[in-house]
């Protein structure tokens, strides 16, 4: 059907969403939150399988409730979190991905590679992190391009290695690409 007059199409910014809170969980306003395998939000930690959803807008105490008994308003955007003391981010990390160390701290690396977002700026009192899916995807594409460039390899077939260093570089590249693809899938499914 073609329009014959103006219409008012409702709009929702989509930056704030309501998500179910995991059982026996308290989430504090301002904390970085993640979705667990069951689709419930929890405080972000470096725990395998979590996917970052954004910042908690309010404190929700579901310590006595079942999963989903309460919901949390979660916002996507650019927020400042503490910089890791062990794996600090620096100016060279601007535009790159950063990872969850704790619900209030981001790091340059982590054990389980729980992606927090893209580093926007490094301040003396923290790290500005963009938690939006588009920003994360952009940073991951840059990481893949960087990994490819770092190998310096021009091998076009798996049987054309002239040195063991080329073969080792390809193994490293494949592992980096695998991690980047998993992070990208997670970010796009968020």
Whether the predicted pLDDT of 119 surpasses 50: yes
pLDDT, tens digit, 9 for 90 and up, residues 3-32: 898 888 877 667 899 999 999 999 999 999
d(CA 88, CA 105): 10
pLDDT at 60: 98
pLDDT at 93: 95
pLDDT, tens digit, 9 for 90 and up, residues 56-110: 999 999 999 999 999 999 999 999 999 999 999 999 999 888 999 999 999 999 9
CB neighbours of residue 75 within 10 Å:
16
Question: Which run of H or of E encompasses 183?
Answer: helix 164-189
d(CA 18, CA 70): 10
pLDDT, tens digit, 9 for 90 and up, residues 120-155: 999 999 999 999 887 877 777 777 767 666 665 544
Rg (CA), the chain: 20
pLDDT at 154: 46
CA-wise closest residue to 108 among 121, 126, 93: 93
């Amino acid at each position: 059907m073609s329009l014959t007059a103006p219409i008012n199409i409702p709009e929702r910014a989509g930056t704030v969403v309501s998500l179910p809170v995991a059982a026996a969980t308290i989430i504090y306003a301002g904390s970085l939150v993640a979705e667990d395998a069951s689709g419930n939000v929890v405080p972000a930690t470096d725990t395998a399988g979590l996917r970052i959803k954004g910042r908690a807008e309010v404190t929700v105490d579901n310590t006595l409730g079942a999963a989903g008994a309460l919901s949390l308003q979660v916002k996507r955007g650019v927020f400042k979190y503490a910089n890791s003391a062990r794996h600090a981010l620096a100016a060279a990390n601007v535009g790159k991905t950063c990872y969850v160390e704790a619900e209030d701290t981001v790091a340059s690396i982590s054990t389980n590679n729980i992606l927090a977002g893209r580093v926007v700026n490094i301040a003396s009192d923290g790290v500005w992190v963009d938690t939006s899916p588009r920003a994360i995807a952009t940073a991951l594409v840059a990481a893949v391009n960087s990994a490819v460039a770092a190998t310096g390899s021009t091998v076009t077939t798996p049987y054309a290695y002239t040195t063991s260093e080329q073969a080792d570089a390809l193994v490293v590249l494949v592992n980096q690409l695998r991690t980047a693809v998993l992070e990208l899938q997670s970010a796009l499914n968020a």
